[in-house]
Structure 1
Amino acid sequence: MKHRTVGTSGLRVSRLGLGTGEWGRGVDGDDAAAQITAFVEAGGTLVDTSDTYGDGRAVRVLAEILDDVVPRADLVLSVDSGLSPADAAGHWTVDCSRRALLAGLDRTLRDLGTDHLDLWSVGAWDTRTPLDEIAATLETAVSSGRVRYAGVRGYRGWQLATLASRVSVVAAQAEYSLLARGTEDDLIPAAAWHGVGVLAVSALGGGVLTGKYRDGVPADARGADPVRSAGIAPFLGEDGSKVVEAVLTAADGLGTSPLAVALAWARDRPGVASTVVGTRDIGQLTGVLAAEDVDLPSAIAAALDDVSSPWR
């Protein structure tokens, strides 16, 4: 697997990252161990987790794997703080105060059994906490040795620019796919100006770009979950269907999977350092890893750009 530098920093990561959003929920410890083993054997390094995933279960599953299954030193661990797990209605609590951020960092380090995180990100924009306080907290975390690099998640372009003018930020994690291109007009230009690398998440549009919703909603899919379906509902209309059909056509012409086409498109966009993908089982991960060998011809990439332009 190829590796890239994150922005203008010295942090290097695999251009495909392993997400743990399903760990502890739909993925048990054995499945997680199999996934991370295959990922590392393929040359992957970037592993993304959060104490909001599965109400903290994802971190606990990862903790059982570190060193016992894969050496901690072989991984680039990316974690965030500042968000509390969603309640039953899907509402999040944001608290990026110095007290909350450092408490979250120390808790994560303790739960993972490690003395540092490679990338630690502010989990959300917090209107109640002064930005200078957030910047100082990131500096404290890095200078103390508990964190190697600082980043943000879910920031708009102007928010990233404002924080990056106060403290060194190397990564911005954001949703980015053929069905979610708003970051191109906002976050990505700001990231490029400040030397920040983009970590793209949800590159498969919640699974929509694989074609799995083409003929309806599968019973075991995210779209069948009343709470989680809200994230993909906007993609299931006419404009989304046009993009999906274009991806399926491209995949057929290239002799590969729609997953590989959608993932390769996001992976190779300007400014993207890595694309983070979560999988339910080793079979799905195998398909994701196969995308590493897919390079989209410029004509196909241009055609996908054109058909997905309404999503900018």
Structure 2
Amino acid sequence: MQQRYLGSTGLKVSRLGLGTMTWGRDTDEHEARDQLASFVEAGGTLLDTAAGYANGDSERVIGSLIGDVVKRDEIVLATKAGISRLRGERETNASRGFLISSLDASLKRLKVDHVDLWQVHTWVDDAPLEETLSALDYAVSTGRASYVGISNYTGWQSAQAATWQRAVPGRAVLASNQVEYSLLSRAVETEVIPAAQALGMGILPWSPLGRGVLTGKYRTGTPADSRAASPHFASFVGRHLTERSQRVVEAVARAGEGLGWTPLEVSLAWVRDRPGVTAPIIGARTAEQLKGSLTVEECELPNEIIEALDDVSRSDAEPGQAEQ
């Protein structure tokens, strides 16, 4: 798998990342082990998780696999802090104390002494930005994280945060912004991606397959084993089950038929090679599903197909809420 630099940093990552949002909840350790093995075998290095995924169980599963399935220095380990559901409801906290204690708990669950990339999971209005960012400085200066980034920040939020970090020598420069980006969610192209490009941040798209809709699995209904049928993800996926989405999915399917590709390959290749993108974060329920995504490494969309997909998917839709 090809490697790319993360923004303007010297950190190289595979141009696809493996997402683990369902690990420890809908994906058990056996399936997680198979997924990680397949990903590494294909040359993948970027492994993405978060403290809030399955209330920390995603990190626990990863911690049990590092050193067994893969050596620590063979992966770029990324996690996030700032969103939790410990009391059943989605809560956000970007205070310095919460973020640092969350990072220490993540390191314990992951069974490592540092992560390669640590990200603030979401903007929080009532947390002073300079306080939030001081936690990133602390993480780097103490060796807990090699690089730091943000997630789900809008254009002005990411520009403000990145400029603050660059204003004084010694602060930890932001390496990335992880945001929703796909053929069904392109609002980030207006401000978020230009801000990232101007300030040296790589874009890590989450839900690059439109929350699974771009695979075409919902063209004729909702499969019983799909995320849209899951109590955890029904509303999450439902946001993209619209008439506009249906038109985009049909265009993707037609492009795939002409190229001899799957709709998944078409959609993933499109977002992977967009300006400013470093690595889409792909997730799968099973190792077999993941292997269907890894075939995209051999795919490169012709320009005329890119232009047609750009045209049919163009929209002024607002960006969605953070995935966790």
Please tell me whether residue 122 in structure 1 is matched to residue 120 in structure 2: yes
Corresponding residue of 1:97: 95
Which of 237, 241, 248 lines up with 2:242 in the alignment? 237
Instruction: Report the Cα distance in structure 2 between the residues aligned to 1:230 and 1:289, rounded to whole angstroms.
Output: 27
TM-fit CA distance, 1:180: 0.2
Q: 2:179 matched to which residue of 1?
A: 174
Aligned equivalents of 1:187, 1:306: Cα separation in 2: 20
Q: Which residue of 2 aligns with 1:33?
A: 33
Deviations 1:256-308 (A, max 9, x none): 11101000001000000001001111111110100111100000011000000
Is it true that 1:206 corresponds to 2:220 in the alignment?
no
| AA at the equivalent of 2:225 | D
Q: What SS class does the counterpart of residue 62 from structure 1 fall into? A: helix
CA distance in 2, matches of 1:147, 1:226: 34
Give the stretch that moved more between structures: 256-265 or 231-240: 231-240
Q: Which residue of 2 aligns with 1:106?
A: 104
Runs of 4+, deviation exceeding 3 Å: none
Percent pairwise identity: 46
Residue in structure 1 matched with residue 7 of structure 2 by the alignment: 7
Verify: 1:307 aligned to 2:312, yes or no. Answer: yes
Structure 2 unaligned runs (5+)? Answer: 166-172, 318-324
**Stretches of structure 1 lacking an aligned partner (at least 5 in a row):** none
Q: Give TM-score scaled by structure 1 length.
A: 0.97
Residue of structure 2 equivalent to 1:16: 16
What are the superposed Cα offsets for residues 177-217 of structure 1, whole Å, 9 maximum, x if unpaired? 00000000021011011010000110111111011000011
Which residue in 1 is equivalent to 2:261? 256
Map 1:156-305; keep pairs closer than 5 Å.
156-167=154-165, 168-305=173-310
TM-align CA RMSD: 1.2
The count of residues paired between Structure 1 and Structure 2 equals 310
- State the alpha-carbon separation in 2 of the partners of residues 209 and 254 from structure 1: 16
Amino acid in the other structure paired with 1:150: V
Contact 1:176 1:200 survives alignment (8 Å): yes
- CA drift at 1:30: 1.4
For the residues of structure 1 that align with 2:86 and 2:59, how far apart are their CA atoms?
16
* 2:322 corresponds to: none
CA contact (8 A) 1:77 1:119 kept: yes
Question: What TM-score do the two structures reach when normalised by structure 2?
Answer: 0.93
Q: Distance in 2 between matches of 1:226 and 1:282?
A: 22
Whole-angstrom distance in 2 between the partners of 1:87 and 1:222: 23
The 5-angstrom pairing of residues 75-86 of structure 1 reads 75-85=75-85
CA contact (8 A) 1:135 1:163 kept: yes
1:151 alignment partner, SS class: strand
* 1-structure distance, mates of 2:274, 2:119: 22
Q: Deviations over 1:79-116 (max 9, x none)?
A: 0011112765xx42111111000000100111111111
> How far apart are the structure 2 equivalents of 1:169 and 1:191?
10
